Structure 1
Amino acid sequence: MKNVIKQNAFDYLIYILILTLFFSKALPNILLVLLSLLYLKDLNLKDYKKTFSAGTILFVLLLYLFFKSLIYGSIVYDLKVYKGMLLLFWFSLILRKITDIERFKFFILLGINACIVSSLFLIGMFFYKNHTLPFANTAEVNNLLLLERPYIGFVAVLGFLLSVEKAVVSIKQKWIYILNAIVLLLFIILISARISIITIFCIAVVYFLFYYKVQWYKKILFTASIIVLFGIIVMTNKNISERFFIKNNIEESLKVASDYEPRIVIWNCANKMTAKKDFLLLSGFSGYETITNNFLDCYATTIENQSKKEYFLSEKFNSHNQFIDFYLIGGLLGLVLFVSFFIKLFYEAKSNFFAIAIAISFLLFFFVENIFYRQFGCYLFAIFILNLVPQKKVSNA
């Protein structure tokens, strides 16, 4: 009885952490300290089997980067990034003690819905006052959302996948989860979250090509229909078309994209810095401080527009691409290890469509954001990639 009470307390602390994760930076960390104490108190190393998994490859990558920083003497600065990766591994170990995976998923979905509903309330208040929605390319967007647009869109994608999975395996609440999935999908379209829209359509294509059991010509028909639908949404929705820089011709679209898409400047700078003498093809730069300074130097010398230059220098934009980031800091060794992690992850998850869908979501998001730079991103990675993706059981909750 005592063990049951202790386990229930542990589980509910995790549920509270999940619910607060979308609203606070400090509270999840406080709860993590409490969970860590409970976890260490009952720690039994015999409960953990030594297995070679995708997480193992990622841990090897972290060890490689950590010892490389020690050798170059850049560990103090680099720990700003590595501490997030350490957190995600530690949190994933704690999450393994959860006894009810379906209830855990329910609380994740509850937290995501609370975040989306709060944002919809702010959007509604703005529309009531201004009779317009600023979801094209304005600075007002992030003031209307609880998280920055790419992250709240990404969270909505994860919630959409959990809702669809629940609708498939649930019996009593099927239509509630279907409705929830529709609301989350409409929210993604409403806020014109580019990478999230692309992710949903890519997942749909993967489903029809590899998991939908019909004749091959029907697979092609469904896939083509998805692509056409994507084109219609992009071309007919004004906010989304502006987010994708759709103009009268390709030249005009490219010009607008170069003016308003920071990643074009950032990735160009990342490419230029790899030509520097202190960049080693096999192991990358000596540390993150060098990379940061290289980005700032590039922004200062390549951006002609003064206000744009000041914006980039004040924001100190990182690479906004986790693959580029590991290439810059770890060279080919770092990049190969990170790519190997995803290859192993997809191999482990191939029999479960929803696990594959989550893996695809993170893969695509890594192309536009450095998730490991943010505590919130590390928590999400630990929850979904290191814990939910490996789950083999499907419950009829």
Structure 2
Amino acid sequence: MRILLSAIYPYAFLLLYLIIPFDNYIRALPNILLAILVVAFPFIVKREDFKKLKSLPVAIFLVLFGYLFIDSFSSGRLVEDFNIIKKVMIAVGLAILYIPVADAKKINSAIIFSSLAAIIFSVYNFVLITDAVGNFALGDSPQVVESLLIDRLYLGLLCTFSILISFQEIQKKYHPNNNYYLANILINAVFIVLIASKIAVVSLLVLVLIHQFYGKRKIWRILIALAAIMAVGVLFVVIKGEKDIGLNKTFKQGNSPTFIENSLTYELRAVVWQCAQNIVNDEGFTLTGIGFDITKDRLVSCYENQINDVNKKQRFIAERYNTHNQFIDFYLSAGIIALVLFLAFIATSFISIRKQFFPMALLAILLIYCMIENLFHRQIGAYYVGFILIVLITSARSGENNNIKTI
């Protein structure tokens, strides 16, 4: 029995990460795979496997989860906040469930194929929608927004993971697989540009900058670093200069299907962050926070008072937009203690993996996306934070992660 579970376990894990983007279409399967992993874990894990968890960053993240649970329970808001706390639990749970698996490269392959599958699916949808609409538009067009398999932000994140993994796998000497990795980098990079995922572009430029601190040829690396800094600066100026808080574009409604009309995008973070700032000012210093659900209620109240445009106000209220910043969300919802623990996790992770480019790059991606998104408000975000935790754990013991266990 144990041998059979040991054989199935790694591939159940890989299949989970392969199908994550298709969660809306096969919602039950990820939960089934998680259940298989949880049931099988006690039968295949060994005592020495738990040594992989003996790191300060992992310990701090576990403390963060424990604190969120205890804080919410003691404040009488566990029922309301459990949906968010559960996603933090998923992230740390995936990292723990992965410790019996010894080959970190297998999950990297799952990320690459998952990204390609999502791209193919999205392109196919785009062709169908463009044919139905009768015109061709890229970037922020409704055709692109509606055709994407998952939200553009998370699809850009997945593509960034895929590019980073492929770059890491390219060998210095000639190897046939290098061609496949280069092709994958090109496909994902072009796709990111076509769907106009600005945060993914910024992430890639930051990764280029970070990579200059690793390796030799420092003169060239300094020049590349300066170019990357300038590119990031220019991109931020462009993003900041966008004033389309309302509809990004106006489309003719004559031949457009209803689902296209309903897929118009909004630039909402300026409004959300201003409301979050107002709540911070009203609350002042908070040790334990006001709760994740109450934070959303307070934001909705702010939208009602601050937004003048009726249609926009109704949309913000209906969607109950969160803070779109993980740091602000932890502070408002669980107080300064949660924020300090999360920052401590990031700081200690940086110290422990600072000499390794791949985990350092993933940590940078986590930081960037936490600045503009609440990753723990979406299950897909929790899965990808779990992937980052897995890499941090396996990087600390890279010498032991060469093969998948069979017994």
Q: TM-score normalised by the shorter chain: which range applies?
A: 0.7 to 0.9
Matched, 1:268 2:270: no
Give the match for residue 311 of structure 2.
307
**Which amino acid is the alignment partner of residue 340 of structure 1?**
A
Give the match for residue 362 of structure 1.
366
In the superposition, the TM-score normalised over structure 2's length comes to 0.85
- Give how far 1:39 is off: 1.0
> Could you report, residue by residue, the CA deviation over 1:88-110 in whole angstroms, capped at 9, with x for unpaired residues?
22222111111332223212211
Distance 2:68 2:310 in 1: 36
Give the match for residue 38 of structure 1.
40
What's the secondary structure of 2:119's corresponding residue? helix
- Give how far 1:41 is off: 3.1
Distance 1:187 1:68 in 2: 42
Give the match for residue 55 of structure 2.
52
Give the match for residue 102 of structure 1.
105
- Give how far 1:205 is off: 1.1
Distance 1:90 1:245 in 2: 37
> Could you report, residue by residue, the CA deviation over 1:153-176 in whole angstroms, capped at 9, with x for unpaired residues?
111000111111122378331111
Tell whether the 8 Å contact from 1:245 to 1:256 is kept in structure 2 after alignment. Answer: no
In structure 1, the gaps of 5 or more residues are 247-252
Tell whether the 8 Å contact from 1:258 to 1:265 is kept in structure 2 after alignment. Answer: no
State the aligned residue count.
376
Give the match for residue 209 of structure 2.
205
Give the match for residue 69 of structure 1.
72
Distance 1:168 1:354 in 2: 14
In the superposition, the TM-score normalised over structure 1's length comes to 0.87
Matched, 1:193 2:181: no
Moved more, 75-84 or 123-132: 123-132
- Give how far 1:46 is off: 5.5
2:298 to 291, 294, 297: 294
- Give how far 1:190 is off: 0.8
What's the secondary structure of 1:282's corresponding residue? coil
**Which amino acid is the alignment partner of residue 317 of structure 1?**
Y
Tell whether the 8 Å contact from 1:57 to 1:337 is kept in structure 2 after alignment. Answer: yes
1:144 to 137, 142, 147: 147
Distance 2:15 2:318 in 1: 35
Distance 1:290 1:83 in 2: 17
The equivalences for 1:77-116 within 5 A come to: 77-116=80-119
Sequence identity percentage: 27
Distance 1:396 1:15 in 2: 16
Distance 2:85 2:231 in 1: 41
- Give the alignment's Cα RMSD to 1 decimal: 2.6
Moved more, 103-112 or 152-161: 103-112
The answer to which structure, 1 or 2, has the higher relative contact order (CA under 8 A, 6+ apart) is 2
Distance 1:377 1:8 in 2: 28
Tell whether the 8 Å contact from 2:303 to 2:317 is kept in structure 1 after alignment. Answer: yes
The equivalences for 1:1-397 within 5 A come to: 4-24=3-23, 25-45=27-47, 47-49=49-51, 51-129=54-132, 130-136=134-140, 138-168=141-171, 171-208=175-212, 210-215=213-218, 217-228=219-230, 244=239, 246=241, 253=242, 255-257=243-245, 260-277=266-283, 280-285=285-290, 287-383=291-387, 385-392=388-395, 393=398
